[in-house]
């Protein structure tokens, strides 16, 4: 499981395995129009601004079950619980 999967879900539906962390970072970079840098607070603000969190919850809904064979993240479920979006 990768936190970047959750971040990418702010931009697109996550349905298949992304082969490597480098490809995941590349996809984030494409959406940011800049090289993704883990821990960069400005990029994080860009990713989570507005109501994108609701898109991310929906976009990650297909990958909430933990798996070694495909991408997974349960951060959306945790966030939904916190904001009362269940």
**What parts of the chain have a pLDDT lower than 70?**
1, 64-70, 72, 85-86
Mention every residue, 6+ apart, whose C-beta is less than 8 A from residue 25. Answer: 4, 36, 38
Write down the residue that tokens 């702010």 correspond to: 10
The whole-number pLDDT of residue 26 equals: 95
| Domain residue ranges in the chain | 3-84
């Amino acid at each position: 499981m990768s936190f970047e999967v959750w971040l990418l879900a702010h931009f697109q539906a996550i349905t298949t395995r992304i082969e490597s962390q480098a490809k995941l970072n590349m996809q984030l970079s494409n959406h940011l129009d800049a090289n993704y840098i883990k821990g960069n607070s400005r990029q994080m603000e860009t990713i989570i601004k507005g109501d994108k969190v609701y898109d991310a919850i929906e976009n990650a809904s297909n990958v909430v079950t933990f798996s070694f064979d495909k991408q997974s993240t349960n951060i959306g479920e945790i966030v939904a619980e916190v904001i009362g979006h269940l």
